[in-house]
Every structure is written in structure tokens, then in C-alpha cells.
Amino acid sequence: MKNLLNPSIIYHSLPVLRIFVFLAGIFTTRLLQAQEASPPNVLFIASDDLNDWIGALNGHPQVQTPNIDRLAARGTLFTNAHTQAPLCNPSRVSIMTGLRPTTTGIYGLAPRHRQVERTKDVVTLPQYFAANGYRTMSGGKVFHAGITPEERKVEFQEWGPDGGHVPMPERKIVTAPLDMVNHPFIDWGVYPKDDETAMDDYKVASWAVDQLKQLGEEKNNEEPFFLAVGFNKPHVPLYTTQKWFDLYPEADVMLPTAPEGDRDDVPDFAWYLHWFLPEPRLSWVIENNQWQAKVRAYLAAISFMDAQVGRVLDALEEQGLDDNTIIVFWSDHGYHLGEKDITGKNTLWERSTRVPLIFAGPGVSVGMQSSQPAELLDMYPTLVALAGLPQQEATEGLSLLPQLKNPDTPRERPAITTHNPGNHSVRSERWRYIRYADGSEELYDHLRDPEEWANLAGNSEYAEVITELAAWLPAEDAPLAPGSRARILVQKDGEWLWEGKPIKFDELIR
């Protein structure tokens, strides 16, 4: 090799070098043409109830998510991404159809999108890819839980395990009666069996690894794939095996900051959005000495889920499929662990709306972060654009391709989150504006108040900001779709009803 640096050898070798460079140029051109002719694959990875507690988002100082973090390092992380609904079913319907809850009328845990006139014939994201020559596969929770036989016929071409809530133990770990609904899933602690292979998320990851091995063996096949992998954790019950709890010694677990009186400047109507739920209030977890235990279990469940993501990413690389595969990782909505005096979701605040959103692969900038507001329904047009497919005109999201090329490119509108008709949040790069169905408002300046502790809506100094943000509120809210139920808030004859029962404020559980 040293002789090749001799100038005389280089001089006498110029004709050979010119031929080599010429041939290399032809090879490179043909390789690029082949790559252009070979559509990219898509690996679509979902988590459930994961807020911004991943290392790359600095959401919790102790969280350990090395696999999600390495994915963020090889792609673009949206640090200001938000769900369209802070609840599983309407969020996932929005993602998969590319339509807002205010368009579909789906706001609760039911109905399913094929049961609603507006969306019964909608072309979902996997259907669109299948129509454009992709082999589509799904395992775990991608659509809302419990895929129907009708959905199995039309949504994906191939199906793996449903996933779920792990085999439930014989009795709950947390035995204290809950303050509202004593639901069996509202539980947390070390999984009774020290065998994580029995857990549903592990099985989903194993299925995905097997699919990728098979796809690797068939990679000369020109048919690209769309592989969706949906993990349940850190959704309740917050069970996982001891080794993941060992990452977070209980005495050292840091709790979220939840200052007393944080809701003093918040409209009372905010309670209506999470009026009576299985998830306990902060007061309950404190009184029952469970706050630290629940935070610890949530962290452990995140790290277990992250390990399953790592198994899938490793398999993609081992099969040599990573260079031509677009990867997107997302969560359907966030989750409170004591902030604003509650645990759970169902709010229009940052903890409930903000989610991880990461793209990596062909056409995506490496090691970048974008603080532009992004929406989960943007995934549909973004993946279509990255795959080079014809634009799907029926969707309501915006392609994030400009931000994937240059993360500072402004997005033309803020992110909108809706929870039941008339309740909306508008999140720009700096501000969050909330308007409730009774007209009450909140405004937070994330530049100075990232924890949303000071509601500025009553300050006339910010009237212009509110006017600007309010212009983005949906012009119309589709009424509740027939069959709507579970976490539904509606006004009837001048009275507010939660899940069909009148709300009486003096019965509020704080």
C-alpha cells in the first residue's frame, strides 16, 4: 500500500487509474439507478402511552432507552411532536387514516373506523402502500386493541400476534382500592414470573425478528415491505421482570415536579376531560405510598419496551435491510405521572400530547433534531413522500419531508390536539393555547414556562398571541360518531355528561 503513494508509480499508472475511475463511475451510476428503482421498505414501530421519557428527549433524567436513542442518532427526532387525540383509539384512527377526530367524529375508545359512515371506506396507510405494490404486515398493537375479523381482511395483508397486556397474574400487586374505577389493568410492579419471553411485547418482537429474517432471505425479491410492529408498553398494567426494575432502585427514583396549587389558575372545565377514570389521582398515589412505585414501574416498562425495539432494529441490520428501509418510531399519546394532580392521559397539556417521533433511513437527515411542531397524522403523507409514491390527497396531515431535509424549515401550521368536541390545544414552536368547549382558555409560554405552570390566558398583554393561535382552531367539530362510548364528554340539553352521566362538580374527586 505504501508504494501506491510513490509519485512515479501514480504517474505511470494514470491510464489504468482513468479506466478504473471510468468503470467505477459506471458502477456507481448503475448502483444509484438500482437504488432509485428499488422502492424503500418501511418499518413502522409504535409504542403505547409513552410520553417524552426517552433519553433523546430528556423527559426524565434517569430513563434508560439506548435503542430508541441510537435510532434518533441515526435519523431525525421531532422534539415538538404531538398527538391528535390523548387517547388510544382516536389517536390511532387519526394516524392510520390521516384524518383528524374533528373530521371522523371518533373521539372515544369506540367505535372503530370501519363502523363509521365517514370512514368505513377510507384508504388507510397500509392499504395505500399495498395498493402501490408493497407487502404489508402487522403485529402487536397498531390499530386499537382487539383487531376485528373485518379489519383483518382489509387493513394488512399479513398478521402476526395481537399483542396485549401480558398474561395477567392471579391477583393484583397493588391491593389498595382505587379512588374511582377499580380496573384490573391499573396495577404496577414486578411481573410475578421471571421470564420476559412470556410477555406479549417480547412475543411481538420475536415475530418481527422472524419476519425480518425471512425478508432478508428474500431480499432479491423486488417487492418492498411495510412492516408494522406495535408494542403495548408502557401502557398499564405496568408489569415487567425484575431486571428492568433493577435499573431504577426505588429509593433513588426521581419524581416529576407537581407543585401544590398548580391547577389554581386552570379552568374548572379542565376536570371534565378526565372526570372519572380508572387512572388514580395524584392524591391517591401519595396517600397510598404508590407515587414512587408507579413512576419506577413506568420507567421499567419503558426500558423493557426499548429492549424489544432494539431486538427489531438489530434484526433489520443483521439482514442487511437497514440501508433501504425507512424507520419511524412513535407513541400514540403521552401520560401524566403526577403533573397537574393526575396520572394517566386525557388532557390537552404537554405531558399528555407530546410524544416521541423519529424518522431514519433513506431521505432522512442523520443526527438532527427539529423543534418545529409536528403532528402524528403527518406520518401518512411523510411516508408516502419518502417512498416516492403519488400523494394521497385525502389526508389532512402535512409531509415532514422539508424538515427531514432541513430541520429548521418552518412548518406552515401548529399542532392541533382534540379531546371530545370543542376541546382543542394549539401548540406552536413557542406557545400552547387551549380552548375548552365552554369557552374557557389557557395559554402557556414554553420559552419561559416549559412545565406549563403559569396560565397567561387572563393577561391582556397576550391577547394578540391568543388571537393568532385561535385562528388555527378547527372551524367545525364533527359530532360524536354513532356508537361513541368510553371517555366521552358531551353536552345535552344544557347539561354536561361524562360517559352518559351528568357531571356534578361537587362530586369531583381531586
Question: Known catalytic residues?
Answer: 88, 144
- 323 in the Ramachandran plot: left (φ > 0), alpha (ψ -120 to 50) or beta? alpha
Using CA of residue 25, residue 30, residue 31, residue 32, what is the dihedral sign? positive
User: In whole angstroms, what separates CA 168 from the centre of its chain?
Assistant: 25
Residue keyed to cell 375548552 = 436
Give, in degrees to the nearest 5, the angle at Cα 207 between 202 and 208.
95
Angle, in degrees to the nearest 10, between helices 200-217 and 291-318: 10
Residue 214, Cβ density class (10 Å: 0-12 exposed, 13-18 middle, ≥19 buried): exposed
Within 98-148, where are the H helices? Answer: 101-104, 125-131
Of 171, 169, 177, 172, the residue nearest 288 (C-alpha): 177
User: Torsion over CA of 483, 488, 492 and 497, rounded to 10 degrees?
Assistant: 130
How far apart (Å, rounded) are the C-alpha atoms in residues 232 and 302? 10
What is the grid cell recorded at 393?
390527497
> Is the peptide bond prior to 249 cis by the omega test (within 30 degrees of 0)?
no
CA-CA distance, 59 to 55, in Å (whole number)?
Answer: 7
Q: Quickly count: other Cβ atoms within 10 Å of residue 398's Cβ.
A: 17
One-letter identity of residue 88? C
User: What are the backbone dihedrals phi and psi of residue 183, each rounded to the nearest 5 degrees, phi first?
Assistant: -80, 140
Cβ(205)–Cβ(304) under 8 Å?
no
Strands 135-140 and 374-375: unpaired
Of how many residues is the chain composed?
510
